[in-house]
Structure 1
Amino acid sequence: MVAKLDTQTRRWDDSTNSTSTTPSTYSSDSSSLDSNEDGDSSDELTQPPPTSTSEKAYGTLHSEFGHCLNQEYRRTSRHTLGSPVKTAEEHDPPYYILLSTYVSYLFLICIGHMRDFFGKRLTATNYIHLMSHDGYAALNSDFDSFYTRRLKQRIDDLFSRPVTGVPGRTIMLLDREFSANNTNQHLTGTRTRALNISSYNYLGFAQATGGCADAVEEGIRQYGVSACGARLEGGSVDFHMQAEKLVARFVGMEDSLLSSMGFATNSTIIPALCGRGSLVISDELNHASIRFGVRLSGASVRMFKHNDMESLEALLREVISQGQPRTHRSWRKIVVIVEGLYSMEGTLVNLPGIMALKDKYKFYLFVDEAHSIGALGPHGRGVADYFSISPRRIDILMGTFTKSFGAAGGYIAGSKTLIDSLRAHGHSGAYAESMSPPVLTQVIASMASIMGVEPPLPPHSPRTYVNGHANADRRAIEAYDYPGTAPTSLLPQWLSLPPHLRDGSEGRERLRRLAFNARYLSIGLQKLGFITYGHPDSPIIPLLLFNPGKMPAFSRMMLARKTPIVVVVVAYPATPLVTSRVRFCVSASHTKADVDTLLRACDEIGDALDLKHGPGKRWSVERVIEHAVELVRGEVE
């Protein structure tokens, strides 16, 4: 059945191809923004639905940020104070699903080894890369490359899809064809616009039009495209210092340090925090950048079960009482590293539970908020904001700008003493290039849009000074007033944001749209009968596929629909062997109609591929769509 469906979905429909839209400025109206080059306005991916009651003129393309004025499709992302933090339940599929999954992998591995065995002896020319190395040792052994050649290569069309344009609500795919055995590929010259459920553009700030894009354009005029140096050399400009102060204020810390790459933020800063004689306690599902940084540091490392507070406390009791191996001396420091939102599982860290253990056992806490900053909390400040916990109680906050802020790079935030030390001892400051000015502009513009900007002082108002600073800077130098707005002193004088961004109204609107979309999709998939992982407020929703044959079938069937949908499938080694999944990433740029479209597609494909194995009574997709608001508010069970 799966093989038959997989064959059918390889016949992609070229009739879905469309041309890209023409960028416009903020002052343009919605009709001119969303017109296609060929004049066709019937494409629902580029044209908003007709509304007779709306008179609002949008400054963004509907293909980049969906137009939706219905205030019922909004929600505030917040944990109810006093309520227990529920652990996400992971349901198991029927035994026949697990058995067929193991048998499928066993069959693929056996066939792959047989092809290698006979291929080396009968058709040596096709396996010259495995046999002859001109006297050199092989860079990759048979075992290392086996999974890539014999399993992943069969479904290579699902990965590394070339795209062009903005990764917003929709995305433009460059169509490609593969030769026999998927060994080679070439572009066909056609393009397909598809609904984008695969990008980390949580708040929809990755746009080519609008206030942030205009600010970036002005930033290029002011500073160029690169600082051309490391931070400790000639690559640190005034713009970097302004951005670091703004980031520190946004996350609620004293100071922050920027890095030009999110992965490098962890891998170069952790060695400056820990060393020999230190102990790192890491969640078993922490990101590869954390694991890499811990290895470079030389510190000892212990792991606890994912988000399990009992496992963490038992481990803390052991390591504190036993001390270092052999000598049993006390550890120089103990650092617990967790993520705010786990990208493969969609689970939120149990921050209240960890804070209770921190008060009891006195360890340092490092929270990686790569996916949670900007995406969670009523003010977009991440998991601390979501759980209403003061960020000053956390020792180190790490985050990236590649998700919610539509930019690149990362940051470390903490006390001023800690950050000053990291500036000198962190490898990224001495060796890595500094963040480019256009990227910094995007970070500042999007962050200020979430925070809102304080109005400037009247032209002739009296000014007093505190520690050498004008009264306009008073709030910037005093204790952090959570959640706080962005003082004008922390923004470049030339930065001009539209009123709806400057007052923070659009930032709040994006946060509420994202919260609704995330909860609606998560609960909707569960009501349809799918097995999903993660927290219902997470913008990352993994849907379990299990069988390796269902991964290509699901992805190709999604792309072959009348409204093409781009999804990301994830398998071993990124996940355990038998829990392959499709990972949906929703955004504030999606409308409720987009989520409806996705639910209808999942419902049809789920029936065809036998994916509905979740517990509870199943709903029809039309019933889920009809009761979307009630489901999100928790008014129906």
Structure 2
Amino acid sequence: MMASSPQPVHVTNVHRHLTSEFHPNEKMGDTVLPPIDENLKQYRFKTETEHNSDDGGLQDEEFEETPLYAAILTYLSYAILCLFGWLRDFLRQSNIEKKRGAVDPNAALGFVPLYQSYESFYTRNMYTRVRDIFNRPIASVPGAQVEVVERVSDDYNWTHRFTGKTINAINLGSYNYLGFAEKSGPCATDAINSIKKFGISNCNTRTEIGTQRYHVELEQLLADFLHVESSIAFGMGFATNSLNLPVLASKGDLILSDEMNHASLILGIRLSGASYRTFAHNDMKNLEEKLREAIVHGQPRTNRPWKKIILVIEGIYRHDEVFDYKVWNDNIHKCFTSNFRSNHIYQYNIEYGS
């Protein structure tokens, strides 16, 4: 979901909001918004170094170094698996051993192969040996506990058959982090009632079913909650990033992207047709250098100013460092970000979340 409107100044430290009201008709100055360095230094997140220096703070992760003999045995075992894999592939090609894997029927027709050669080799000869511990089907909702369907293999994991039993297990790897996938409770009850009232096609695109009353109500509720003029709801988070960034950026624009951004943001940047550069993850000095360079030198070859410069980051890590910019040029018109602002620009605040 994405909300957009001219926004009052918000300097955010996770759930605590420090607000200094700003209105377009007022003069921007120290009386309205204190210097950003002084404001953020008082309320910013501590850096990792500061955390590590505090007693009881976040400590560096420690990993036991792999012993030399363990590393040698691992590489030796891997090499032996490869040798036997090549031998068995030769036997399969010679029809001495039965081919149990899937065969691409279009391979002989000149189509591009579905798998790379080594990927297919690895799947046949290495992954198949341990495939029984992956992709385990369940017979329950992915809650704190799950019922794992028991299965066995009679041909070394090429195929599996179900025994009809289930194994009760603690779920440590669910994607159900919001608790929506439950068979009882308010989420399940409201979902059932919504299906009875609106049907099952209300998650379709608006180009198919149009804008419905509940879409308008949801967007107004989101706008009220976020204290913005309006909002727009999308049915898929990946598509929100990948298909809306091209609306904001085009040829002649520059996008500065954190090197750790999600694949959906990267896809949206590439689809936009804009030029893009990456900066070191959470490195504000590196970002400032890239900004200064972009503003001073402009576009390659022509040195014309960029139409606009857009900063693309992810909110999940936006408070790891201080945004200690000294001066931002007015040519920076928009930021694709959440609760981010400089005292030298006025932009549209765009928030995206699930």
Change (3 A) 1:313 1:255: same
Q: Which residue of 2 aligns with 1:93?
A: 63
Contact in 2 for aligned 1:323/1:331 (Cα 8 Å): yes
Q: Which residue of 2 aligns with 1:134?
A: 108
Candidates 333, 336, 339, aligned match of 1:366: 336
**Is 1:353 aligned with 2:322?**
yes
1:337 to partner: Cα distance? 1.5
Please give the alpha-carbon distance, in whole angstroms, between the structure 1 residues aligned to 2:285 and 2:72: 31
Change (3 A) 1:384 1:229: closer
| Correspondence 1:172-191 to 2 at 5 A | 172-178=147-153, 180-191=155-166
Candidates 317, 331, 335, aligned match of 2:310: 335
Counterpart code for 1:194: A
Determine which structure has greater relative contact order: mean sequence separation of CA pairs < 8 Å that are 6+ residues apart, divided by chain length.
Answer: 2
Moved more, 115-124 or 281-290: 115-124
Q: Which residue of 2 aligns with 1:118?
A: 87
| Correspondence 1:10-409 to 2 at 5 A | 82-87=43-48, 91=61, 93-96=63-66, 104=74, 108=78, 110-111=79-80, 113-124=82-93, 125=95, 126=99, 129=103, 133-137=107-111, 138-150=113-125, 152-178=127-153, 180-227=155-202, 230-341=205-316, 348-350=317-319, 353-354=322-323, 356-357=324-325, 360-361=328-329, 362=332, 364-367=334-337, 395-400=349-354
Please give the alpha-carbon distance, in whole angstroms, between the structure 2 residues aligned to 1:286 and 1:101: 33
1:237 to partner: Cα distance? 0.9
Please give the alpha-carbon distance, in whole angstroms, between the structure 1 residues aligned to 2:76 and 2:299: 42
- Deviations along 1:75-119, one digit per CA (max 9) or x if unpaired, are x966996254323876463543699569846853x4454345333
Counterpart code for 1:216: A
1:394 to partner: Cα distance? 6.8
Please give the alpha-carbon distance, in whole angstroms, between the structure 2 residues aligned to 1:193 and 1:227: 35
Q: How many residues align?
A: 296
Compute the TM-score of the two structures, normalised by the length of structure 2: 0.69
Contiguous gaps of at least 5 residues in structure 2:
1-13, 18-40, 49-57, 341-345
1:190 to partner: Cα distance? 1.5
- Deviations along 1:3-42, one digit per CA (max 9) or x if unpaired, are xxxxxxxxxxxxxxxxxxxxxxxxxxxxxxxxxxxxxxxx
Please give the alpha-carbon distance, in whole angstroms, between the structure 1 residues aligned to 2:279 and 2:67: 29
Contact in 2 for aligned 1:168/1:207 (Cα 8 Å): yes
Moved more, 298-307 or 227-236: 227-236
Change (3 A) 1:359 1:257: farther
Counterpart code for 1:396: I
Counterpart code for 1:305: A
Contact in 2 for aligned 1:153/1:182 (Cα 8 Å): yes
**Which structure: larger Rg?**
2
Change (3 A) 1:92 1:306: farther
Moved more, 318-327 or 155-164: 155-164
Please give the alpha-carbon distance, in whole angstroms, between the structure 1 residues aligned to 2:81 and 2:326: 50
Please give the alpha-carbon distance, in whole angstroms, between the structure 2 residues aligned to 1:164 and 1:198: 16
1:131 to partner: Cα distance? 11
Please give the alpha-carbon distance, in whole angstroms, between the structure 1 residues aligned to 2:350 and 2:72: 42
RMSD: 3.7
Contiguous gaps of at least 5 residues in structure 1:
1-75, 342-347, 368-382, 386-391, 401-637
SS at match of 1:301: strand
Please give the alpha-carbon distance, in whole angstroms, between the structure 2 residues aligned to 1:99 and 1:319: 51
Report the structure, 1 or 2, having the larger helix content.
1
Change (3 A) 1:240 1:255: same
SS at match of 1:163: coil
Moved more, 180-189 or 85-94: 85-94
Change (3 A) 1:384 1:158: farther
Please give the alpha-carbon distance, in whole angstroms, between the structure 1 residues aligned to 2:15 and 2:211: 36
Please give the alpha-carbon distance, in whole angstroms, between the structure 2 residues aligned to 1:227 and 1:185: 37
- Deviations along 1:165-212, one digit per CA (max 9) or x if unpaired, are 322222222223345453323333211222222224334343322233
Change (3 A) 1:240 1:301: same
Identity in percent: 35
Compute the TM-score of the two structures, normalised by the length of structure 1: 0.41
Counterpart code for 1:133: A
Change (3 A) 1:106 1:289: farther
Please give the alpha-carbon distance, in whole angstroms, between the structure 1 residues aligned to 2:256 and 2:110: 41
Counterpart code for 1:236: T
Change (3 A) 1:117 1:130: farther
SS at match of 1:188: strand
Contact in 2 for aligned 1:280/1:302 (Cα 8 Å): yes
Change (3 A) 1:114 1:229: same
Change (3 A) 1:395 1:144: farther
- Deviations along 1:242-261, one digit per CA (max 9) or x if unpaired, are 11111223334332222222
